[in-house]
Chain A
Amino acid sequence: MMKKSICLYFQVHQPTRLRLYRFFDIGKDSHYYDDFANRTIMRRVAQKCYLPMNALLLDIIKRHKGEFKVAFSISGSALEQFDRYAPEVIDSFRKLADTGSVEFLCETYYHSLASLASPAEFKHQVLKHRDAMKQYFGVMPKVFRNTELIYSNEIGGEVYDLGFKAMLTEGAKHILGWKSPDFIYYDPAQPKLNILLRNYSLSDDIAFRFSDKTWPDWPLTGEKYLSWIKSAVSKGDIVNLFMDYETFGEHQNAASGIFDFMRYFPEVVLKDGLMEFVTPSQAVRKLKPVDLLDVPQTISWADEERDVTAWLGNELQQDAFSKLYGLMEKLSIINDPVLWSDFGHLQESDHFYYMCTKFFSDGEVHKYFNPYDTPYEAFINYMNVLSDFIIRTDAAYSDLDAKFVSDKKDAAKATSSGRVAEKKKKPAVKKSTVRPVKTTASKAVKTKKK
């Protein structure tokens, strides 16, 4: 009999936090980021989580000679911060990559919501992230995970077109109905795109409940956890445990015993011998999809609702979102790397998450991740930054316009005097072919609202 599978996947991300940006700064100071906070937090999380956990995983992989496997996706924003503030973390990930037991997945470079705004921008960020994975770890990702496990049939189609064979998303109850998340499914429009679903109950046992002493099942042990997995998988093929990597040492601190648990758990599984660890790629090679999964409406792994309302649920978020993506056309024409980079960082989903006004229901989790006291402050700060960014974009655009006009005059002179006109095309057309313009931001927001 074929062994049943456990698939561990960890999300590594750090947002590029914005500094306190008052309206006095608009038009005067275009440095948007809180370098101090970003560095401090990155250093702290590196010490508490990334470095010790990477070392631990490396140790387990070596000890079990490749029988233990995990998958990661590391956002581009996190990579940039590693480079800047904790380069030793990159080295430790490289060591993991070299074992061959670790798969790196692809995601949007800026951990963005581009999949809800613009197919063109989405594609750009996916490719940018794929290149980064190649550059940093020498691997070519085959499996995709979208920001916050956001998924719909439409996004599935786009992901398939970008050459991915599988995608991760949430085993959301309202989508699954009676179905179990512990199988592989396929997308109805793209039958070749396999879908792996997070088993949220078992994943959250580690990610949220592990150190909760009021939890009846506290403390969680390897044996206990394995028995739950086995009973879950008795009617399924695979248990997908997807969670934030910061769970280990940061959300659940070292004193909770999370590291001991993670050291011990693989041993328990492998000794038991009835289950095996797989990476997402191996899972889709090994297992056949059992059924199609129709997801007409966008889902994610956030909050009780498992939808995108944590980022685009209120008017403030929608306004900021559509203002931001409204700049796509001009930015494509300007095609300036500095503006592109700021545009990317401003797209990070975290900025929208901070503006969430679901104060009460999921307030606890939101508060934990939120540097702002209120969603209003988050919105005001973001909009002040965005206002400056819009001013810069408009200025660059009108500069270009002026240049285009003068170029045309020159060209006109040139044609009248000789020829050469062909050579000096207007930059707008040439540049826009680099990144096609198709802004569907406003449309996407509308469909989200229903």
Chain B
Amino acid sequence: MFGWEFPPHIAGGLGTACYGIVKGLAANGVKTLFVMPSAFGDEDSSVADIINASDVAVDTSVCDINEFLDKVSFIRIGTNMIPYVSSDEFRELAELEKKRQVKDFSIRYGQKYKFSGKYTSNLMEEVARYAMVGGTIAMQHKDEFDVIHAHDWLTYLAGIAARKLTGKPLIVHVHATSFDRGGSDNVDTRVYDIEKMGMEAADKVVAVSDLTRNIVINRYGISPDKVITVHNAVDFSGRENLKVERGVKDKIVTFLGRITFQKGPEYFIEAAAKVLKRTENVRFVMAGSGDMMSRCIRHVAKLGISDRFHFTGFLRGQEVGKMFALSDVYIMPSVSEPFGISPLEAMRSNVPSIISRQSGAAEVLSYAFKVDFWDVDAMADAIYALLTYPSLSRFASVHGYEEVDTLKWNNAAYKLKRIYESVIK
């Protein structure tokens, strides 16, 4: 299994999801070799054998460089844009490029590459190198695995390399797509290309929700019978709900997440302004940071609700739990959310949640309130109702807790196991 990150060192939801999947697979009797670019050594290795790609030298003892490169020729380190060339020139250029690559590769030959494992500016290069190392690792462990499973576009190239070199079936797992990250008009084509390549090369594509499945089918042109939805779950083991003293008497409505276009923060602000027109004793909190934060602060000021609308900045570890404990209503107005684990965490903390219909979580949560992200009237109405009608919030809290408690990774992993079985010849 190719991942990019693994708890405890995580930047987003991908690592958490991978951990849940690996753990669930272990419970279902599936052994996992988990490859990641940069392991810290304190990962939970009881559920999987963790392979640190930074420790592996590119080793071509199993095949010579040329053969290796033929099979993984799709990998380009760095971008090489060659516009308007004749076919002869192109051949020449391609030959040159190959030579350059062989040279490049020879330099690396026998060396280790220290991955940052972060989401840095040379991400593209890391992704490509990860593929090379991934291929090597796959060859080294050829007899130990039956299926290759790659999580999100960062690892797709590694997955494809492993598939080409070993001939074992490939599953790509779509946790998010370019369309979720940038909105429909702002897609990074390099990422899109890698995503599409991964999905096309895969034997099966796993999507985290029907919403994502539809994107995979419609936007990437993948045949529907190849794409299967396996909803995410949450692992709450060993987590206690915090009890927190409240500083203010007011009710608190919370948004928690990256403050980016994808998460729909501005709709939350609009809804908050509407609620504040009719009710007092309520405060709104936007927790997190992101590229739209300053714009949001200005927006709040312009609406004149700054005294009731608060920004906390990025919250870490315990602070997140504390924020949930302080909240009366949780809201996730995402414009596009492949799944969205945060409302599950909120509901697990007994906080009634309002989520956008444009989220994968809406497909599995009956007891969350669902509104269209653009419908700020409905959003405001739901917030108001949860603040005003105690029986409603009590009901949503009790039943919401029970509901998320039943969403287990073991069940999701069971579905994955069935998919594995279907592709192993």
Contacts and interface: CB of A to CB of B under 8 A. Distances in A.
Interface of A: 22-24, 26, 314-316, 318-320, 357, 359, 373-374, 376, 379-380, 383-384, 387
B385 A384 contact: yes
Contacts of B390: 319
9 contacts: A23-B381, A26-B278, A315-B391, A315-B394, A376-B396, A379-B385, A380-B381, A380-B392, A383-B385
B389 interface: yes
A21 to B, nearest CB: 9
B382 interface: yes
Contact of B274 (A24, A315, A380, A387): A24
Given A23-B380, A379-B389, A383-B388, 14 more contacts: A22-B381, A23-B381, A23-B385, A24-B278, A316-B391, A316-B395, A318-B391, A359-B366, A373-B370, A374-B369, A374-B370, A376-B396, A379-B385, A380-B389
Contacts of B274: 24
Given A24-B277, A24-B278, A380 B395 contact: no
Contacts of A315: 391, 394-395
A270 B390 CA distance: 59
A402 B183 CA distance: 60
B4 interface: no
Contacts of A376: 369, 382, 385, 392, 396
A387 B388 contact: yes
B384 interface: yes
A386 to B, nearest CB: 9
A23 B394 CA distance: 20
Contacts of B395: 314-316
Contact of B392 (A22, A26, A383): A383
A379 B277 CA distance: 22
A379 B390 CA distance: 12
A383 B391 CA distance: 11
A316 B392 CA distance: 6
A318 B391 CA distance: 9
A384 B396 contact: no
Contacts of B399: 357
Contact of A380 (B277, B278, B366, B385): B385
A62 B384 CA distance: 58
B318 to A, nearest CB: 31
Please classify the interface of chain B as helix (H, G, I), strand (E, B), loop, or mixed, using the class held by over half of its residues: helix
Most buried by B among A26, A373, A376, A387: A376
Contacts of B392: 316, 319, 376, 379-380, 383
Interface in B358-405: 366, 369-370, 377, 380-382, 384-385, 388-392, 394-396, 399
A387 B277 CA distance: 17
Nearest to A320: B391
A319 B392 CA distance: 9
A372 to B, nearest CB: 12
A52 to B, nearest CB: 39
A384 B391 contact: no
Give chain B's interface residue range (CB within 8 Å of chain A). Answer: 20 to 34
A314 B396 CA distance: 11
Contacts of B388: 23, 383, 387
Nearest to B275: A23
Main secondary structure of the interface of A (DSSP, over half): helix
Contacts of A320: 391
Contacts of B389: 319, 379-380, 383
B391 A319 contact: yes
A379 B389 CA distance: 10
A343 to B, nearest CB: 19
Interface string B187-219: 000000000000000000000000000000000
A131 to B, nearest CB: 36
A427 to B, nearest CB: 32
Contact of A23 (B370, B384, B391, B396): B384
Nearest to A319: B391
A384 to B, nearest CB: 7
A450 to B, nearest CB: 18
Nearest to B398: A315
B362 to A, nearest CB: 11
B306 to A, nearest CB: 22
B385 to A, nearest CB: 4
Nearest to A23: B384
A376 B390 CA distance: 13
Contacts of B396: 376
Contacts of B369: 374, 376
Q: Which of A24, A26, A318 has the most CB of B within 10 A?
A: A24
B382 to A, nearest CB: 7
Nearest to B383: A23
Nearest to A374: B370
A376 B395 CA distance: 10
Nearest to A379: B392
A23 B391 CA distance: 17
A20 to B, nearest CB: 9
B332 to A, nearest CB: 16
Contacts of A359: 366
Contacts of A316: 391-392, 395
Given A376-B392, A376-B396, A387-B388, A22 B377 contact: yes
Contacts of A22: 377, 380-381
Interface string B60-87: 0000000000000000000000000000
A127 B277 CA distance: 44
Contacts of A379: 385, 389, 392
Nearest to A22: B381
Contact of B278 (A23, A319, A357, A373): A23
Leading 10 A-B pairs by shortest Cβ distance? A319-B391, A380-B385, A23-B384, A315-B395, A383-B389, A315-B391, A22-B381, A376-B369, A316-B395, A23-B381
Contacts of A383: 385, 388-389, 392
A316 B384 CA distance: 16
A385 to B, nearest CB: 12
B394 A384 contact: no
B391 A380 contact: no
Nearest to A386: B389
B274 to A, nearest CB: 7
B384 to A, nearest CB: 4
Contact of B381 (A314, A319, A373, A384): A384
Nearest to A314: B395
Nearest to B277: A24
Nearest to B352: A376
A380 B396 CA distance: 12
Nearest to B357: A373
A314 B377 CA distance: 26
Nearest to B279: A23
B28 to A, nearest CB: 26
B303 to A, nearest CB: 16
Nearest to B387: A23
A289 to B, nearest CB: 42
| Most chain A C-beta atoms within 10 Å of own C-beta, residue among B277, B384, B399 | B384
Residue among B278, B369, B384, B395 facing the most chain A CB atoms (10 A cut-off): B395
A139 B391 CA distance: 44
A384 B389 CA distance: 9
Nearest to B274: A24
